Structure 1
Amino acid sequence: MENYVRYRPGYPQEVIPLLQREAALVPQSIIADVGSGTGISAELFLHAGNVVHAVEPNREMRAAAERLLAHFPNFHSIDASAQATTLPDHSVDFIVAAQAFHWFNTPETRAEFTRILKPGGHIVLIWNERRLDSTPFLQAFEQLLLTFGTDYTAVRHENVSPAALSSFFSGAYETFTFANEQRFDFEGLKGRLLSSSYAPGPGQPRHEEMLAELRRIFDVYEVSGQVCFEYDTRVHVGH
């Protein structure tokens, strides 16, 4: 969990002005951040002045968010699921799901979102999609995941198809894209790798072999002691 808190990527600040411009987000808007995890996406909206109801069923992730965001009076942590958020009917202006939609793309979730969303409210789905081959380092890192990841190809967030999005949104939705990046020294790169559920952890088969290959890749591609992860942040906005 420490690796997840420290090394998962955040989201570009441009998301807030985008939603202000395209979806009438204002500081008074009430947000339900569903599958809120450790609070990375919630923090974006808290800084914008919004009340955020962070819905997260995982106890460790929820506790991490509560530690990180306790100083925001508008932050409310909720032990609940996407299918049963416990929020009142028609009580939120925006439902945000960042890096979480693939866990709960179900009719039950869609019905729950319809129940808690105010008339005319918006659903915002956000992903950081790591670029797989835009640099030699990223090509090598992708090959490492394909070689050592336990269920990597099954759980990649990019596996969510346009058809799945179209069937979830009621009506048309719009997609916006921003560039995003992280830079890591080797310890940071190791933490970023181990923050992923599909990377074998300490004591699991091939863990040490994977770290040796990670070290080799880093030594080949580092520039001034760092490597760069490049992302396309996709923001899907609809109802």
Structure 2
Amino acid sequence: MKSTEKFTDKAEVYEKYRPNYPNEYVEYLFAATMLNENSTIADIGSGTGILSRQLLKRNLTVIGVEPNDDMRKKAEQLLNENVRFISVKGEAEQTTLRDKSVDLVTVAQAFHWFDKEKFRLECKRILKPQAKVALVWNSGDGASELNQKSAEICQKYCPNFKGFSGGIDETPEVYQQFFKDGTYEFKSFRNDLELDFEGFLGRYLSASYSPKKNEDEYENFRNALSNLFEKYSNNGQIIFPNITRSYLGKV
């Protein structure tokens, strides 16, 4: 299956259960890139528009570039009333955007799917001189026992599981190869999530690697997560240890 097809039929659950990025991160991003209301951001692999929506609140133009029809249509449904949102069917390596047309490229929860070198060249083409690329993930805190146990469940029941965020957090050399001269600024922001059972389950079912309802391991996966929630929850709520990881630099 092509990476652009992995989220087909998951747009509803993705939009409902994937978390926002912390306001502290958005504040940092604006301060570090000196964006203003005349700026244009290309949000590549924009999905259902979670980060795009947060950026639009700052009254700038956001171009959401998304190849998956289900995900892109969900973003259009939610964001098209904002005249500063532009939805584009395109891929990271071939966005269809004009040369030197954007002030910042953002990539939220998607960089691990890209052909890194082709995407780097595409960023160089569409970015204005001196503009930057911002890569960001909401990732489960690997130091927490809850996330270690959930990873074991995913390894057991999800054949396509290669680690959270595609395992890319374990390969820092990727960022050194991607950013100009291997130089970038790394920041992390605490973004723990308080979830009920529906939210906890939805967080995993929205993942590209999770089995769909018509697949053999779905019920086993769901039951194992239910048992995990029961063990670690308190009064119907669970704290999901989560970290927002940010990488910002020129290409």
TM-score, length-normalised on structure 2? 0.89
Contact 1:177 1:235 in 2 (8 A): yes
Equivalent residue number for residue 224 of structure 1: 235
Shift of 1:23: 2.0
Q: Which amino acid aligns with 1:150?
A: P
User: Where do 1:36-185 residues align within 5 Å?
Assistant: 36-134=46-144, 136-153=145-162, 156-160=165-169, 161-171=171-181, 172-185=183-196
Task: Name the Cα RMSD after superposition.
Answer: 1.6
Q: Distance in 2 between the 1:40 and 1:59 partners?
A: 16
Partner of 2:5: none
Offset of 1:162 from its aligned partner? 1.9
User: Match of 2:3?
Assistant: none
Segment of structure 1 superposing worse, 43-52 or 159-168: 159-168
- Whether the aligned pair in 2 keeps the contact of 1:180 and 1:231 (CA below 8 Å) is yes
Q: Deviations over 1:98-156 (max 9, x none)?
A: 1111111432211111111000111111111211342x433322221122122212673
- Distance, in Å, in 1 between the alignment partners of 2:97 and 2:217 is 43
Q: Unaligned stretches of 5+ in structure 2?
A: 1-9
Deviations 1:16-69 (A, max 9, x none): 221232221223221000111110111111011110011001000000100111
* C-alpha separation in 1, matches of 2:31 and 2:246: 13
Counterpart position of 2:197: 186
Amino acid at match of 2:249: G
Is contact 1:129–1:231 with CA below 8 Å preserved after alignment? yes
The 8 Å contact of residues 40 and 103 in structure 2, kept in 1 or not, is answered as yes
Name the CA distance, whole Å, in 2 between partners of 1:16 and 1:207.
36
Is the contact between residue 129 and residue 158 of structure 1 (CA under 8 Å) also seen in structure 2? no
CA distance in 2, matches of 1:9, 1:158: 19
Q: Return the letter of the residue paired with 2:48.
A: T
Residue-pair matches, total: 238
Match of 1:112, as an amino acid? E
Q: TM-score, normalised by structure 1?
A: 0.93
